[in-house]
Structure 1
Amino acid sequence: MTNVNVYLRENLGSISSNISVAPRIDEKKLNNAVQAFAFTGSPSTVVALFDNTLFGSGKDGILFTGEQLIYRSGSFTDPVSVPFVGIAAVEYVETVSGSKGDKVEVSLLISRKEGADLTITGLSSCNYRKLAETLQTCVQDFSEFKEERQLVSIDELGEPLKVAYVQAVINSAYANDQVIDDKEFAEVLQLMTRLDLSPSARFILRAYMTSGSAQISLATLLERIHSNSPVGQIKALHVSLVKDLINLYYSTGGCDIARFAFLQNNRELLQVSDEEIELAVMAIKNDYDMLRDDLTDDQIVSALKLLSAKAAAVGTPLAAVYLSGSVVGMSAAGLTSGLASLGMGGLLGMSGMMTGIGVAVLIGVGTYAGVRKLTGADELSRSKRRELMLNEVIKQTQLTISLVMKDINFITEKLNEAIQAQGAQDVKIKRLMGLMTRMTSAGQVLTEKTSSAQASATKLRCAQFLDEGKLRTLTREPTKTELYDWILDFYEERSVVVSSADAEEEVSEVKLCIKRDRDSKQLENLARAFEVIGYFNVGDVLLGSASEVAGKAREKLSSLFS
């Protein structure tokens, strides 16, 4: 049987309308639940949350992970953790009550291998019978229970998987006419950039694109993807791959999916339904539409709602469609930022997505809130919203060009070595090769200058000297705690000279300064992180400080009465 995390995700959603399943768990609700249920694991491992509160705070009900369920019956009760491995049986119980025996109360009885049994009751709009069946199957049919991140973006996965993923797309390009034309080549290069491939991986793929008939079968490539995939994410990877295959087909003028031979001939291997293909097509169209100047904000929001509804109907997390980023050139984190800039991150489940695909998307999700607070505006203008998304497209395109320059330089060096090894003496060949070498080298220099300037500009959006206490205060929420260590890792203690207008002489102080070895991409993520936590926003700082003071006051009161 499938992994327990996958099983729970696929079955818990039908228990009640009050259940949120990852990655569609609201960030604020998730933060509340992690704290109220005293869950000590990572928020990214939460599979589902049954919210039994009246106003949807997420503080009471049941929290599910791959290892356990945690039950909290009310605000004044302690949470009860029940590891699946310790459950003997789960039963649906009906109890007759009332003076005339005309009332029936339903509940869930969890019999434990050790310790007292647990009765769960009072769940609003809950199908207790279905819940009992789901949990009984869980403890009966699975032998391994493990907490795991619910969704991981492809750029965070290992190189073998990413290489096989791109090779599958290259196979599709060859299948059309046995040639990779300019448009297909450009799409593959952009995909390689979005997936953050290493130089060695890019070299493998360059060689593969010139291999012609020496292609690896799609079946073998999918086996490699499966063997290197996080447990339970294979289906999501298939949906994402199909989206990228269809986009490549469209880029060469294709318009009828029924005539997309590579896709149709491999439907059995790709294991995607007609509905999932329709979802991928809808997402691709939506990506391009969002950048159109003549599309109003209301139209964008309406289209996104339709896309979200389609994903829900298909039963595929919309986040899965965007595991490789957006086909218009945005990375997973950049796309999430763009959607959030439209105020749509939460609706699409992207704020839940960020709990499962790492710091990069955690940063992306919060960008809208950070930008909004920094500008002091409740709503960004339509042009500003598009500017955020277009800037991300531009950055990704510039990065692709930069990588192309590096690859051209690499190929030129190899070509020079080959010519010299053959002893070619033709003066014209030598002159042309020398010119090509100088041009590629000059291009590389210009690229490095651009990157350096970009890094300097980005640094202006980061804290020059980090206030560690302030950082700790602003990262107290469970879904932001990992940002504390992540941001702190960018800084090191250095002695700096400080002076003031009324000081007679300069003095040295030890401060936390940005490390000198960080590149522009890393600094861009750091700048986004500061925006996420509201580091430069006075309101966020004051709110965080007030929360910290309130927390300490509660601790002191508790100690007085304990």
Structure 2
Amino acid sequence: MNINTYLKEYANTLLGDGTHIAPSVPDKKLNGAIKNYAEDALPEHVVALYDSTLFKSGKEGMLFLGDRFYFKPLLEKPICVYYKDLQRVELDREVTYKNDKRKEKLHIVMHTEQYDYSLSDKLATYNVEGVVELLNGIAALKDKEDELVNVSQVTPLADLPETYKLTYLKVLANFTFVDDQQIDAQEYSELMSLVTRIHLSSDYRLQLRAYLSNPAEHAPTLTLIDELRDLSTTIDFSIVEKSLFKDLLYLFKLKRPLSAWFENKFLGELKEVLSISREEIELISSAIQ
């Protein structure tokens, strides 16, 4: 699991209300955070945002990218920490008694290569234990990644290289042939509609038509998925996974009720390869309906 995937999977649970995950970060909050405490961050690189403001402006909180995060507490200067420098985050519980009443104060210290940051008095509105767990999870993952880089969380398929588009379309083509070894008029029309929407060039359209006309030479679907992963150097592959499954469901519903997708062997196997949950697929299905 890379840090982008980790943040998308756990940030909402660990940080709680006020957390937004790309590509569903509200523009107002995103703009407020970048303008107020993360001016060198590009909006398309933001993976997760936690808004700690009372009026939900996004001007204070935490902003996570692929290679670093920003922390802006109330009435304090912002902090920017690169994951490569993050070592560990410690939580100490100070217990005091006054008039036989027990009080607990949480002390948080974030250790980096160069500095130790005390966050104890700056996290009043946060799920403190969740912040500690999330940051320590990032620290544990950072050494397992070859390179900590920012990738686009919103790049549409139309903006990607032609080779990428063609490989993506080949996966869809494979699906149209899997049940009856042919592509019918409806399936062909749906594919060509997508070809138009993503602005596939004429040369690559010819390559796609050649691929469609020769099913015996089709590449294995898993090989095509691996190629897409390898080509995903400027975009978070989890975005591509969901987009691909959505387009497969569009093709599926041409012949069968959308609710029966889980009975299809191709979709069931691909769901596991792409690590998409059934809940996510149900959301995609609802959007299609």
Query: TM-score category by the smaller chain?
Result: 0.7 to 0.9
2: CA distance between counterparts of 1:187 and 1:134?
42
1:36 aligns with 2:36: yes
Structure 1 position 186 matched with structure 2 position 189: yes
**Which TM-score applies when normalising by structure 2?**
0.86
1:73 equivalent to 2:77? Answer no
Show CA shifts across 1:213-237 (max 9, x none).
2211111111111111247733332
Helix, strand or coil at the partner of 2:216 = coil
Tell me which residue corresponds to 2:92.
Answer: 93
For 1:51-104, what per-residue CA distance to the aligned partner results, in whole angstroms no more than 9, with x for missing partners? 2222112212222223333222224x3222223333332111222346446211
Residue number in structure 2 paired with 1:557: none
Question: What one-letter code is carried by the residue in structure 1 that aligns with 2:284?
Answer: A
Give me the whole-angstrom Cα distance separating, in 1, the residues matched to 2:191 and 2:96: 66
List aligned pairs for 1:411-430, cutoff 5 A.
none
Amino acid at match of 2:238: K
Q: Residue 106 of structure 1 corresponds to which residue in structure 2?
A: 106
| Superposition deviation, residue 38 in structure 1 | 4.2
1:277 counterpart = 2:281: yes
Q: How does 1:111-510 map to 2 (within 5 A)?
A: 111-143=111-143, 144-230=147-233, 233-251=236-254, 253-255=255-257, 256-264=260-268, 266-285=270-289
* Distance of 1:149 and 1:266 partners within structure 2: 24
Q: Does the aligned pair in 2 maintain the 1:17–1:125 contact within 8 Å?
A: no
1:9 Cα deviation after fit: 2.5
Structure with more strand by fraction: 2
How many Å separate the matches in 2 of 1:270 and 1:80? 35
Q: 2:10 aligns to what SS in structure 1?
A: helix
Rate the CA distance shift 1:259–1:31 in 2: closer, same or farther, 3 A.
Answer: closer
CA contact (8 A) 1:18 1:125 kept: no
> Structure 1 residues 177 and 138, CA, compared in 2 at 3 Å: closer, same or farther?
same
Q: Which runs of 5+ in 2 are unaligned?
A: none
> Residue 94 of structure 2 contacts residue 104 of structure 2 at CA under 8 Å; is this kept in 1?
yes
In structure 2, relative to structure 1, the CA distance for the partners of 1:125 and 1:249 (3 Å cut) is same
Instruction: Give the distance between the partners of 2:172 and 2:104, measured in 1 at CA.
Output: 58
- The aligned length equals 282
CA deviations on 1:377-410 (whole Å, 9 max, x unpaired) are xxxxxxxxxxxxxxxxxxxxxxxxxxxxxxxxxx
1:277 Cα deviation from its structure 2 partner: 3.3
Report the secondary structure of 1:102's partner residue: strand
Structure 2 contact 68–82 (Cα < 8 Å) conserved: yes
Distance 1:177 1:113, change over 3 A: closer
The CA distance in 1 between the partners of 2:271 and 2:80, in whole Å, is: 43
Separation (CA, whole Å) in 1 of partners of 2:204 and 2:3 = 33
How far the C-alpha of 1:187 sits from its partner, in A, is 0.7
Structure 2 residue 10 is matched with structure 1 residue 11:
yes
* RMSD of aligned residue pairs (Cα, Å): 2.4
Amino acid at match of 1:283: A
State whether residues 154 and 195 of structure 1, in contact with CA within 8 Å, keep that contact through their aligned partners in structure 2: yes
Q: Which has the larger radius of gyration?
A: 1
Q: Distance between the aligned counterparts of 1:235 and 1:80, measured in 2? A: 28
Shift in Å, 1:158: 1.8
TM-score, normalising length from structure 1?
0.47
Q: CA deviation at 1:25?
A: 1.8
Residue 56 (1) aligns with residue 59 (2)? no
| SS of structure 2 residue aligned to 1:235 | helix
**How far apart, in 2, do the equivalents of 1:180 and 1:270 lie?**
24
Q: Is the 8 A contact 2:108 2:120 kept in 1?
A: yes
Equivalent AA in structure 1 for residue 150 of structure 2: E
- Preserved CA contact (<8 Å) 2:45 2:152: yes
Going from structure 1 to structure 2, the CA distance change for 1:106 and 1:12 (only over 3 Å counts) comes to: same
How far has the Cα of 1:204 moved from its partner?
Answer: 0.3
Tell me by how many angstroms 1:201 deviates.
0.9
Aligned counterparts of 1:232 and 1:94: Cα–Cα separation in 2: 41
CA separation in 2, counterparts of 1:88 and 1:174?
Answer: 50
Contact 1:6–1:232 (CA under 8 A) maintained in structure 2: no
Q: Using a 3 Å threshold, how does the CA distance of structure 1 residues 228 and 198 change in structure 2: closer, same or farther? A: same
Structure 1: stretches of 5+ with no match in the other structure: 286-562
Deviates more, 1:116-125 or 1:11-20: 116-125
- Structure 1 counterpart of 2:81: 82
> AA paired with 2:105?
E
Q: Secondary structure at the match of 1:117?
A: strand
Cα deviations across residues 275-306 of structure 1 (Å, max 9, x unaligned)?
33333322221xxxxxxxxxxxxxxxxxxxxx
Instruction: Write the distance in 2 (CA, Å) between the matches of 1:265 and 1:140.
Output: 30
Q: 1:9 to 1:85 in 2, by over 3 A?
A: same
